[in-house]
Structure 1
Amino acid sequence: MSISTTTLSDRPGDPGRSDILAVAREQVLERGEGLTREQVLEVLQLPDESLDDLLALAHDVRMRWCGPEVEVEGIISLKTGGCPEDCHFCSQSGLFASPVRSAWLDVPMLVEAAKQTAKTGATEFCIVAAVRGPDERLMGQVAAGVAAIKDAVDINVACSLGMLTPDQVTRLAEMGVHRYNHNLETARSYFPNVVTTHTWEERWETLRLVREAGMEVCCGGIVGMGETLEQRAEFAAQLAELTPDEVPLNFLNPRPGTPFGDLEQMSGPDALRTVAAYRLAMPRTVLRFAGGREITLGDLGARQGLLGGINAVIVGNYLTTLGRPAEADIDLLGELQMPIKALNETL
């Protein structure tokens, strides 16, 4: 299909509206077919004057192909800091002069955090560790934590433990881990600018193993790390090819002491355009608001995102940065009349 980037809508008073929205309405909303890489780029290049129409279309797509429910998740860091990798955005790297200190949580702390998360209505609780990949000590801690959580609270347990071996993937699946998060972080072409201690392909291989083991795949990344719009569109297409069950969308929150600590924050309109574009690329995927939304979008932007394609949120704090109070997100969902997805709908 040939898409024109110059043909404008003939609607009076709307000179900035490109026909890519009309194409997306027919292709994505009506047929459920995600936009291609080239089409996503067109969406990312739309002017601010088209943003309201774009968000409205993305919301319609979300409602048609995902429904009104919003999936709520909490995350906890089992092992913080001291990571040997050099992800340039991350203050948990042991290679940078960042203020995060290495620390471990014990199993009772994990259980209590899971209980508090469940009280918000969340159906997902993700155990995260700052590592290249889990060693035997970490695998044992995760096994004990997952078992204790399952005994104490009715919630799905997810994990994010870095790159895995086939045996580790099998063990996590046997523990009953519902979903595994391993972000590709950015477009394949830009990845060497973000990480040098491992490759994009190594991350992809872990995701392949997770899918084969029957766990749900959670894979997203961070936008606003200096990538071009073309690379942002490339990343959307690569995620769509992976067909993840969930895509957490983070916006860079520059961390002191990291190589990306001096980058400018992404603008609110650019962030919202990205949200909508990724929804149009992946109409059936759980698209989750994750880190950085508070400083990039603020309260108004959170509302606009939920009305512009987002259908999942992380509540509470993130790994090394503060989030919105969980109550604020839950209250907003109630105000928008968006029901929290029930546990039996996520199984």
Structure 2
Amino acid sequence: MTDILERARSKVLDRGEGLSYDELVEVLRLPDDRVQELLDLAHEVRMTHCGPDVEVEGIISLKTGGCPEDCHFCSQSGQFTSPVRSVWLDIPQLVKAAEETAATGASEFCIVAAVRGPDERLMTQVREGVAAIQAAVDINVACSLGMLTQEQVDDLKAMGVHRYNHNLEAARSYFPSVVTTHSYEERWDTCLMVRESGMELCCGGLVGMGETLEQRAELAAELAELDPDEVPLNFLNPRPGTPFGDLPIMEAADALRTVAAFRLAMPRTILRYAGGRELTLGDLGTREGLLGGVNAMIVGNYLTTLGRDPEQDLAVLSDLRMPIKELAKTL
């Protein structure tokens, strides 16, 4: 049998086809001394099928904490002793955050709420917030509000929401070890409704939660089947008081293998660096990922954890001569 990277070069780079589950397992089993070779191929795939642009996004939590779900990685769950109190932002705060995000050159601003799914109060506030942001600043507005009904999907589309985020979080086989208050299928169904509505679908997951290497490959293959416009890749940042609070930090080489594997599974998808990259990969992580398949990033802070100073990330993009994706290109 030919080497996996030779096969990947032919299949993904030359023909634009994503790797299968079995091939992804082979990639994730590559030894440390071949990680750079893997990253180089993933970068070549990204440049060939996506180009040099990097999409920059900021996120803000409209409703923080007090979530009824038991996602074992999340300090916003009301079921754990994590030190996150329930807080709501008002419309002026949302607009200010959107303006600050746009000032970095970002083309995306995502409104997030820690809920199972939106009630009428939340939908009303989102409707008012989206309208106020669109009136004040030129930026695409995305939302992440949990599981949706078809009526809510249609409502968000009518508001002008550009992209909806709803992560699978983990592979189907590992999902019951991560969440017990809702099912993998419920998440999948929301993603299908969003995709079919015409809104862009943002759907990714977390790695480093105790899953096997094979389950990481499974997650990548399932995401490829779902065919989202964007895949945010998060690395577990163990939060005190959560069931996963004592898990070890993912090894940097494993994280980089995962980045490259996700790119080889989805050659044309926006692959976004999301939470945990600073802790998992250190200061060099941004550069190595951008040269290993990543073509989007969240700048600034995350929902309950601190990120890097946006200027640091923007300086890396400038140094690598990777232009920030312009708003006009995302409309």
Structure 2 length-normalised TM: 0.99
Number of aligned pairs? 331
Aligned to 2:156: 172
Paired amino acid for 2:112: V
- Which residue is equivalent to 1:108? 92
Aligned to 1:219: 203
Residue in 1 aligned with 2:26? 42
- Give, as a single letter, the amino acid of the residue that structure 1 aligns with 2:312: A
Q: 1:248 corresponds to which letter in structure 2?
A: P
- Whole-angstrom distance in 1 between the partners of 2:162 and 2:101: 16
Counterpart of 1:322 (choices 302, 306, 315) is 306
* 1:251 and 2:240 are equivalent in the alignment: no
SS of aligned partner of 1:159: strand
Amino acid at match of 1:325: D
Any idea what SS the aligned residue of 1:299 has?
coil
The corresponding residue for 1:302 is 286
Map 1:195-234; keep pairs closer than 5 Å.
Answer: 195-234=179-218
**How far, CA to CA, are the matches of 2:283 and 2:13 in structure 1?**
27
Pairwise CA distance, 1:119: 0.3
Q: CA deviation at 1:42?
A: 0.3
1:74 corresponds to? 58
RMSD over equivalenced CA pairs, Å: 0.5
Report the Cα offset of residue 144 of structure 1.
0.3
Deviation by residue 1:215-237 (Cα, 9 ceiling, x = unmatched): 00000010000000111101100
Distance in 2 separating the partners of 1:300 and 1:293: 10
Aligned position for 2:111: 127
* Offset at residue 211 of structure 1 (A): 1.0
Q: Select 2:255's aligned residue among 268, 271, 274.
A: 271
The aligned residue for residue 85 of structure 1 is: 69
CA shift at 1:166, angstroms?
0.6
Q: CA deviation at 1:302?
A: 1.3
Q: Aligned equivalents of 1:53 and 1:219: distance in 2?
A: 27
Work out which of the residue numbers 142, 147, 159 in structure 2 matches 1:158: 142
Which AA in structure 1 matches 2:243?
P
Work out which of the residue numbers 5, 8, 12 in structure 2 matches 1:28: 12
SS in 2 for 1:52: helix
Which residue of 2 is the match for residue 241 of structure 1?
A: 225
Aligned equivalents of 1:139, 1:295: Cα separation in 2: 34
Aligned equivalent of 1:14: none
Aligned to 1:331: 315
Shift in Å, 1:326: 0.6
Instruction: Give the aligned partner of residue 328 of structure 2.
Output: 344
CA distance in 2, matches of 1:51, 1:299: 18
- TM-score, structure 1 length as denominator? 0.95
In structure 2, how many angstroms separate the alpha carbons of the residues matched to 1:173 and 1:192?
A: 31
SS at match of 1:256: coil
The one-letter amino acid of 1:232's match is: R
Percent of pairs identical after alignment?
A: 75
CA distance in 2 between counterparts of 1:186 and 1:285 reads 18
Distance 1:268 1:199 in 2: 30
Moved more, 80-89 or 293-302: 293-302
Q: Per-residue displacement from partner, 1:58-110 (whole Å, max 9, x unpaired)?
A: 00000000000000000000000000000000000000000000000000000
1:58 to 42, 45, 48: 42
Deviating runs (4+, > 4 A) in structure 1? none
